[in-house]
Amino acid sequence: MKKKLKLLIVASFPSKKNKVVGGIEKSSRVLIKSKYFQQFEIIQFDTSQISNPPPTFIIRFFLAIVRLFRFIMTLIRNKPDSALIFCSDGGSAIEKGLMLVICRIFNVKSLIFPRAGNLINQTNNNILFKDLIRNLFSCSDIILCQGPTWYEFVAKRLKIDKSKVYIVNNWTASRELLKIGKNRIIHKHTDYIQILYVGWLEKQKGINELLESFLSLVKKNKVKIKFVGDGTLRRKIEKFSLSNEIQEYVSVTGWLSDKEIISYLKSSDIFILPSWYEGMPNSLIEALASGLPSICSSVGIIPDYIINNVNGLLIQPNNKLNLEKTIEKTINDINLRKKLSKNGVNLAESLFSEDISLKKLSDIIKDL
């Protein structure tokens, strides 16, 4: 029998007790269960954040040093053929960049997969940070990008050889979600329109604007909103709804299982993600796959794929009035919702399915 290639995956593999979740955690979990990665002997290396909000800089610096030491020991003990390294922005990008340097020293082929749209903003705003990221990422054998905007950034802004750069789309449009999307029927409601938000409840996710917009909308529309997730603004949402006497229209669930989230995707009418910055978020892909008409900010690589008024609705980040008007238009236009639903499912199936993206990623790793 042919020996399996050893693949070290550096990502978020939190314990069940750790409530810090996110896009990388979900993507990693889907990846290791995929049939396309059963051909590898997978070694998991967890780099989950220990809390939200993040701990102090000193604690994060200490934990990064510990992880880098553990990373070296993992390479020595397991002798992987290649390492697939996911990274976020800021300190995460620097830490994972140092792992690329270590991989080169140990002659391990490496692939870096940045997943945070804010990393582009950070490098554009700080020339020293940009130079550091360019030098670190240049040590990678392959740089993976979620879309054309990231590809152009890596090739032109970081000036890294295009032969090392590949686009691999998000892969969380599951068969189950696509089945829901294809069978979705958009009804003209006589009862309440259910709006759904899934993600961290933080300022930069546009939660404050969403709350203010909903307060205006609920006064003139039959509408409810459900926040799936957790974060520092959870208490504010609960207090805001109580003080404005709209608590019967607002609910916060905390983090839920995949099965529970799928149930809410199935039963909701509109999905909203008004973030200030993003990569290509899993929650948006899952909403599109389930046929949920989706409203999202025109940030990161989202405009690479979402065509306004065709397969989704794009809004300006941090703009309450624009958000409110867009939601109201979607509530009142059933034909628009039907069009967004159908085209969203088609987009998710054609670009963001496991069979397309994870097969491509596994082929890239094998070729490497």
Q: Helix, strand, or coil here: 296?
A: strand
Instruction: Using alpha carbons, list the distances in angstroms from residue 229 to 55, 113, 208, 234, 296.
Output: 20, 25, 15, 9, 17
pLDDT for the residue numbered 18: 59
pLDDT value at 332 more than 70: yes
Q: Tell me, what CATH number does 100's domain have? A: 3.40.50.2000
* Reduced DSSP (H G I as helix, E B as strand, rest coil) percent helix, strand, coil of the chain, to 5: 50, 20, 30
Same domain, 157 and 217: no
| Residue type at position 196 | L
Cα 123 from Cα 304, distance rounded (Å): 20
Same domain, 250 and 343: yes
Backbone φ and ψ of 14, nearest 5°: -70, 155
Q: HSE (CB half, 13 Å, CA atoms) of 199? A: 27
Strand order in the sheet with 270-273: 250-254, 223-228, 193-198, 270-273, 294-297, 313-315
Same domain, 84 and 189: no
Range of the domain at 114: 5-170+353-367
Same domain, 201 and 151: no
Same domain, 161 and 237: no
Count CB-CB contacts under 10 A for residue 131: 12
Work out the pLDDT band at 25, boundaries 50, 70, 90. Answer: confident
pLDDT for the residue numbered 335: 95
Same domain, 160 and 180: no
Count how many domains the chain has. 2
Mean pLDDT across the chain, nearest whole number? 92
Same domain, 202 and 74: no
For 40-92, the pLDDT digits (tens) are 999 999 998 766 666 777 888 899 999 999 999 999 999 999 999 999 998 89
Same domain, 275 and 140: no
Residues 6+ apart with CB under 8 A from 266: 180, 290
pLDDT for the residue numbered 187: 82
> By the 8 A CB rule, do 359 and 105 touch?
no
Work out the pLDDT band at 20, boundaries 50, 70, 90. Answer: low
Read off the pLDDT of each residue in 206-234 and give the average, rounded to a whole number: 94
pLDDT value at 13 more than 90: no
Same domain, 243 and 119: no
Quick one: CA dihedral 163, 359, 157, 305, positive or negative?
positive
For 346-355, the pLDDT digits (tens) are 999 999 998 9
Same domain, 251 and 109: no
pLDDT for the residue numbered 277: 86
Same domain, 139 and 18: yes
pLDDT for the residue numbered 14: 78
